Structure 1
Amino acid sequence: MREILLAWFIVQAEEGFLIRQTVPEPKIAAPGIPCGALCRARLGNKMPDTSKPAPVVTSVCAPAGYGKTTLLSGWTDKLGSRVGWVRIDESDNDPATLRRTILAAVRAAAGYRPVPSEPPRQRGAEWTLVSALAEVLHDQDSPVLLMVDDAHRLHAPEAVGVLEQVVQWLPSSLRLVVSGRRELALGLHRMRVAGQLSEIRTADLALRPGEVERALTDAGVRLDEDGVENVAALTAGWPCAVRLVALALIRAGADTGPLDRVVMADPAVRDYLEGEVLAELSERERAILAGMCVWDEFTADAAANLTGCPDVGASLESFERAGDIVFPTGNGTTYRVHPFIRSYLHAALRRRQPAVLASLHAAAARWSLTRGDIVAAAKHSVHGGDLELLAEVVRAHGPSLVLRGETALLLELAAKLPETAVARPGIALVLALGEMASGDRASAELRLAGMAGAGDDEHDTSLRDLRVIVRTHWARLTGRLLPEMTELDERLGRMHTVDLTVLGLVNRGTAALWLARYEAAERDLGLARRLGERHGYDLAVLHCLSHLAGVAAAGGDLVRTARLTEQALGFARQHNETLRVPCCYAYTLGGWAAYQAAEVDKARSYSARALELLGPGNDRTVRLGAQAVAAIVDFDHGDDPYAACVRLRRLWTEVAPDEPVQLALAAHAVSIEQRMALRVGRPGWAAEAERRAAMWLGESGEVELLRVRRLWHQGRMTAVRSHLQKITEGELGCLAVTTRIEAHLLATLLAYRAGDEQRAETALRAAVATAGPRRMIRPFCDVGAELRELLVVRQGRFGRLDPFVAGVVAALPAGRPAEPELTAREAQLLRELPSLATVEEIAATLYVSANTVKTHLRNVYRKLGATSRREAIVVARRRGLL
């Protein structure tokens, strides 16, 4: 009984002391919201809500400058009354002071007036604060919210124990928010498991790009989209850092330069980081951070190697627990220094100890080489100042950099080398390869010309391998392939390094595609793709995907073509920006597949994109293909068909008579060129296309189809039939699937017009059977709308190809006007119509009678769908005939 009375007296004394002592009002008052503070409404669902039973505790934990207090102040302002504040300072490490402060804050929020309390039963002094809180909140109608800010200032175990007791025995009508730079040992894990805890961490408080832009604008700084992205990347969304960037940019005024250099030169940045972030670190910890500032990401082993501290892992774990300097990345085996702090440390070393910074980069480059990280080694070598190391990276790993799409980095390395090093054959060949890949053909040509008298390399097999690869790549750009292909065939099987093997396969496979050796191209490009995926050669993988799509397109498999082009473009989007330009060929093939499938918008978009990306780094065949597809699409769907026809015709002036032409490209492009020429009334151009096709393709189905079209245009249907049979019956082989399809369709129309329903049915089914699996709708559109009637009455009879037939019918809608081709005389007459000459004057000019002119004129009106001379001129100009 005596012990109980003693406890009662202790409690009464403690509670009386709690009641009698006063707490300074600013310590339990919510701070004001800073001017220009962002309202992060997206965090509202994580903030405490006194109208809901859970969560009862909210933990806000983030480093300095993340706006924790601002967030809580804004939430307090939104909730209004019944919110108590405790602003922790050093004095609160005294448990009695902390108890008084917490009780005063809760009493103020609850509007409590103390009354004498009954003695608690069998409770010790540690229950004093919990009992007092329970008494204050006993008769409350709604919960009270208590904000405990800057909780990280509590370091005395007894003071932390006071707060832990509040968490453990939290009254039902109290909601608690604990905010600080680190999480205290308050037993929150139990509440986390019970679903009574809400957590707001650094990632939640970090500003999103849109919030970064708004913060900059509110501070008076307006940047474009790229500028905002740069600020977001430099600060990683750290609100205080964003504010410092804004102040630095305002003070810099008209001074320009890289963002990090402008910002890190500002005294306010230095004062904040030195005073708030780095001041509490030991000299050893600062040295570790300085050593790691040259890395984007690093492992514990790399840190130990560069700093010479074998136990650096413990320091990294300490940094990670602090949460504001070093963060784990990936699967937790790598780390990164906060980009803002890293940039500051890097700038400080560059300004005060440039030699130390260079030595760190050189050491990082050597470490990266031992780990096989060639890109990182190259990036560090640029800043390392070790010329021998630079030369080693260029000579030994330059081909690998090209295959990875890091050509710009390779050329940046070369710019640091002295002329004596650049003149070495191994380095010169690597740089020529990089210049060709980047589109700088002039520099590559000068470099190769300067090597014409270089020393013998018979005893250096890797140098000989590199030399033949460079020559083959140059041959691809110029179109003269055969001599280099022979030597590459001889050496490729004996290459010992992976990068040269992949380069050899890529070059040989691409050259085989241009020479119509499709099986060899498929084999080499497929193997190069697999090796590229295994070794991280991103540019090689993209190149192989695009050119495998080219193999599929040459074979008429447009379904696979479309799939591979989309795969290539998706791969490029997932990787770095350097893979954007090499997408030219993928866009070309994607546009071609869309054109054949009658997907007009996609065909126009892809062909236009291919032209945008076209440059001197592309093979000659890629350039021809991109320009040809763009002209073909523009002819059918652009504003000036005549100009598109002229563009396609002029392409062939780039090709010398003795140069090889990719046969699939020639087969498709020349055939379409003839059709375009006939449509615009240029029979002479059509005849020229036919002669060119005969020179390139020999006796083939394509050349025979061109004869068929010419005879059809002249109305010689008997001759048309005999020539068509050579194609439809397989007497002549066809390089392009579209040739067979169009031949069957023309045979369909001939039989239909002759009343031979059975032959028309057979020919039409043959065309659908060939075109359907390949989604080739375009040949049906080219032959004309007359086919629509034949397909409509037969819909539902094509089995699994019925959806394809429905697509063809949709592409040839009812009422679509036919566009019969004008004869040479009619086209000549049409060109005279815009003049003010009368029919008689035109007849005299053409050396024919007026009646002949009138007959031709009626035919022109009928074919153009016009009823007058003025209307015929308008229609002709719209179709590109004038």
Structure 2
Amino acid sequence: MSRGVAAEGGRWRPLGQQLFPRPRLTQILDSMPSVTVIRGPRGSGKSAVVEAWRESGRLPADQVVIIAPPHNRGQRQGYWAAAEESLARSTSPTVIVLDLPERLDDTALEERVVDLLDQPGRRISVIILTRLSFAFPTLSRPPGGYQVITPNQLQFTAEETGLWLRTFGHRLSTRDIDTVCELTGGHAALTAVAASVARLFAEDLSIGPKLFASTLTRAIDDYVRDASARDPELADFDLARLSIAHELDNSSAPIVGGDLDLPQLEWCGIATRGLGPGGDSYRIPDGVRDSLLRMACQDTPEVVRSTSATLCTVQLTRRQPLRALDYARLSEDWTRVAEIIESHWLTLMAVPQQSTRDALLALPPQIVDRNPLLGAWRSLSVQAARTRPTTAEHEFHESGPAQPGSLERELAPETLRSMQFRMSGRFRDAAALSARLSTLADREAAEHPPARDGLPFLHLQWGINHLLHGNFDECADAFLKAVSGTLAEGFDFVRRDASGKLALLYAVHGDPTRAGEWVSTSEQFDLPPDGMSSITALGQLTARALTALDRMDLDSAREALDAIGTVSDQEELWSFASYARSQYALMTGNAESGLSELWHEKSVYRRWLTSDALATQLLAAAEADLLCALGRGSEARTIASTPGTFAGLTTVRARIELLTGNPQGALGECTQLPSNQNRGLRAPIEIALIAAAAYTELGDTAAAEKNVRHARTLSSRTGVVRPFAMMSSRSAASSAHLREAPTDLPPATRPVFPDAIDHVDLTTREVAVLRELETGAKNIEIATRLFVSVNTVKSQSQSLYRKLGARSRVEAVTTARHLGLL
């Protein structure tokens, strides 16, 4: 099923590939700052995003000028001349798209971009399409704004993939879409191949999803083979051999590529550059690498096995058992696979990976049967692969006092089960089981001291279970025990990780003093020796960002967020990093792009957003705040109705009432702050300031002064000043005459929230009628369904039209969708 490829400009693009509109990305481009940089390897869809945006009609076609990629540095003068000529012919506003300008090797490139922007009396925006990860550093702060679309953002989400494939009439199930996402890795060009395969299948699924998956696999392999063979830019690379290495760095490159120029991999668009444990590392996009590796295993299996065995040895020398296990499995050395699991079980359990489970499932029965640990772990992996565990299947009963040795017999396997609950999104069950295990461990430690070497690691896992469910006290207790327990030599990273997560816990709840203390504590412990530094660092870096935001140190917050970089979809703390990024976007006046990024991340990590996950509450509060900043009150109110005890939800609900002109309602929400959240300071300060503004609007100056004084006292205790900077201009002005109003706070560059936000209050009956209107039902049909008269339906419809400012059903439904009412 080879479809052929075009390699124009050094790109991989299936012939006949259609542009697919991606609102998530076009909304980012709609903001039109001075500079937008779109980064990604070949085939990642950089130019397709811009072309789809241009076709969306945001600007007239002649005002979006795309300068084709140069073939070599000799075209330098012609490239810039083309940009200037196009600019002279077009009208304002104008967008200049510079495609792969790094090929010019122009040391004055950034100065030339600044010259393009410097057009008196005209609004110019520049979009740069590049393969380089760390290019154009001096363009990051132009007067008109700067934004970056990363390779991760360019990847197709499951939702986008499903929408595109369904445009061809293929009724794909969720499982089919997941299969496509797994095989393509979200890579734009490979997703286009999947769209072509879906079009061939049309609506005929009678031949089965397995044939669809195998056909898609062959199509992807044919496409990648043809693309790599026909592009002269790739002629010097043995891509199949390079694909054996998961990441290419100074240790793996000589093994798979000989005298390999690593930066050239990024320049040619083969791989993206990142920071690995040994310095710069380069990674081929997942879907492309998987395809190349399949071809290598088929064409040169002995080379794959021998090369993988060598890479495994290197990774073990570097004390990176996770990667070593991958290579051992690829080399099909099952004895070595078992040895790695047995020797590094603590590390492998600390960072649950699908590759570890795959290795356990691939082990021959004769090896598993000889080792009880492997047998138990494999059984759990098989169970997790087949179905989600149920509570009943994993109950264990305490029949009396624990006996010596019961710690090893019960706690470790039960902790594995709690981790399986956690990985399947059942955070309440994971936390409940962790609480019981902690009680048993405390009793065991008291009756049979000293505590075992592995116990701090178990406490760390129980703490993570509580953290992801939102149990503050139990989480803090577990992490404290992990920090203070006795550990085997070489596992100091457990203390470092627990300290960083304690810092995160306090930072999320608005206590920067304690958060800072635990960040400092975590830095006293050794770095993990096994490639886990990025995982143990996430909690600490997110805590740094949130702490800096609370103190309005925006530069430090930006540094911490930059250090976090792209978060893997396997990272369980992703929602905390997303929350911090959303708060930074809110405080820097970038609510639109912050909301777009948040929606993208929610779609990528949607499997973690269960009803009992703290992540659901965190991101609901962040999303509602961003919507408030954009004046979209109805949508914000809908999102803020998410149930939960996270204090951020209470504050945003109170803020919505205040900004929609309901000070009495705001005061009512202020009384709902959960009492157990008073250990943090940010939420009580925000609530006090919202209450002060509400009392001021109601004319109760004494109560307003009391609340400002309370907020001021809490702020001076730890330096939390962000809530003051979040006051709307009207709230700040109305309370400026108060004697206790602060005067020494850092000035806000712009108001975070508007003075008022749009909202539409509908009655329950109006909402019911609106939902029926959305279905296209006639009045008599609506009346029958709602058990009311036709006149009542007409009256409710007229009320809806008036509130929504609509003149027809279609307009009412469209407006309601825009406001988040549907």
TM-score normalized by structure 1? 0.42
TM-score normalized by structure 2? 0.45
The structure with more radius of gyration: 1
Pick the structure with more helix per residue: 1
Instruction: Name the structure, 1 or 2, with higher relative contact order (CA <8 Å, separation 6+).
Output: 2
